[in-house]
Amino acid sequence: MKTHIKNGRLVNPASQRDEVADIFIDNQLVVAIRTKPEGFAADQTLDATDKLIIPGLVDVQCRVRQPGSTQKANTSTETNAAAHGGITNICIPPDANPVTDNAAVVELIHHNNQKAGNRCHLYTIGALSKGLQGEQLSNMGTLKRSGCIALSNALHPFANNLVQRRAMEYASGQNMLVVIQPYDHALYANGCAHEGALATRLGLPPIPEAAETAALARDIELVAQTGARTHFGQLSCARSVEKIRKAKKDGLPVSADVAMHQLFLTERDINDFDTNKLTIPPLRSETDRDALREGISDGTIDCICSDHQPHDIDAKLQPFPSAEPGISALDVFLPLLFRLIDENIVSLQQALSLTTINPAKIFKLPAGQIASGELADLVIVDTMCHYQCNTADFYSAGKNNAFQGWDFSARAETTLVAGKLIQ
């Protein structure tokens, strides 16, 4: 299939390109930009007049609930939601059921994606320890050969710091990226809200910022000891941003991301006990939110993820402390990204770097840019629309979203994945 996209404003942060240009696609690859190749005869032409053409977004933290929790969602529904939301690449953490700690599970996940039609590129993050139990190391070499692009223990603790150190050393020896969400289980203590006056007034079990920052300080020390290339996920605190900033200044091989909802919501948003706003880590103070925004602006935080966690209705129909945490985020990821631009938090080039080329480089994915010879993963974005978020319109099976009724001014109009038009 040969495709000609005409008259669109091409914005490619990998090359700092920003111009009105035609794009020519032959099967899976971009074959030319601006100048039509000799003998090129398009099978389909897409008119992108007054629209943006951007690289397909890369989401480094996304759960599809398959295998293990298909009553909530499955690979088909969630990859469809990703593609229609302009996300062409998603990374799956290892805490499915069964755990992604062996080649058979990796193969199953990719088989499910193939059955779902390969609507987006799906990448697996393998487990650092067997069964995520934190006691015995997984066979990281086998996981790497089976296609895992990184290793993580998700939110599961290690038996002790020595096991974690050995896991990071082993991963480093395999030249594998280690992904850590800093999480001190003892300090979390089954809490559900940011520790402060609001949690006290609402009678909610608190989660101190030290539950993240103490764990992060330990993990950074282990990076210094092992030299393991490490990515810290879903930061939520101002002091975490400071620690990452210092670690980078010290020359440690670290990178970091933040979940999109942490850049907009704060602890005040749980004042009505809306369980759709129950997240782990919790929504924190305005000071923390502003520090996270500064972190994406000054480059301390390298990328933004969705931290997509679709749930069924029953999972959220519980008292706030008992409900399951997480937001169904794929359908609002791109609109919120452009809202950051509208609010002058980041520029267009910065916003796209945070969600395309930066995560692609960190996770070593063949993604994140539009260039001749590269996979034709791209999105045509309408930035002159106006609509309100309505979860009933979500492609995701999960309707548990915290942005119901918010005004948006951008949407993915057309998505191509490896040259294939997603409809």
User: In this model, does residue 220 exceed pLDDT 80?
Assistant: yes
pLDDT of residue 309: 98
Residue 423 clears pLDDT 90, i.e. is over it: no
pLDDT digits (tens, 9 = 90+) for 276-318: 999 999 999 999 999 999 999 999 999 999 999 999 999 999 9
Claim: this prediction has a pTM higher than 0.85: yes
Count structural domains, the chain: 2
Indicate if the pLDDT at residue 125 is higher than 80. yes
Q: Mean pLDDT throughout 86-108?
A: 98
Burial classification of residue 306, based on how many CB atoms lie within 10 Å of its CB (0-12 exposed, 13-18 middle, 19 or more buried): buried
Domain check: are 40 and 64 in the same one?
no
- State what percent of residues in the chain have pLDDT above 90: 100
We report the CATH number of the domain holding residue 10 as 2.30.40.10
- Per-residue confidence at 139, pLDDT binned at 50, 70, 90? very high
The active-site residue, picked from 59, 288, 307, 331, is 307
Do 242 and 391 lie in a common domain? no
Residue 95 falls in the annotated catalytic set: no
pLDDT tens readout for residues 340-357: 999 999 999 999 999 999
Give yes or no for residue 262 having a pLDDT over 80: yes
Contacts of residues 359-363 at CB distance under 8 Å and 24 or more positions apart, as own/partner, are: 359/58, 359/59, 359/60, 359/257, 359/302, 359/303, 359/305, 360/58, 360/89, 362/60, 362/177, 362/231, 362/255, 362/302, 362/303, 363/58, 363/60, 363/91, 363/123, 363/149, 363/150, 363/177, 363/231
368 inside domain: no
Say if residue 46 is in the same domain as residue 98: no
Instruction: Give mean pLDDT, residues 118-135.
Output: 98
Average pLDDT for residues 7-11, to the nearest whole number?
98
- Per-residue pLDDT averaged across 63-78, rounded? 97
| 278 falls within a domain | yes
One domain for residues 33 and 93:
no
- 255 pLDDT higher than 90: yes
Average pLDDT score over residue span 351-372: 98
pLDDT number for residue 185: 95
Is 80 exceeded by the pLDDT of residue 216? yes
Q: What pLDDT, in 10s, does the model give residues 397-419? A: 999 999 999 999 999 999 999 99
Specify the CATH number for the domain of residue 238. 3.20.20.140
AA identity, residue 52: L
User: What is the span of the domain harbouring residue 348?
Assistant: 55-362
Considering the domain boundaries, does residue 20 fall inside one?
A: yes
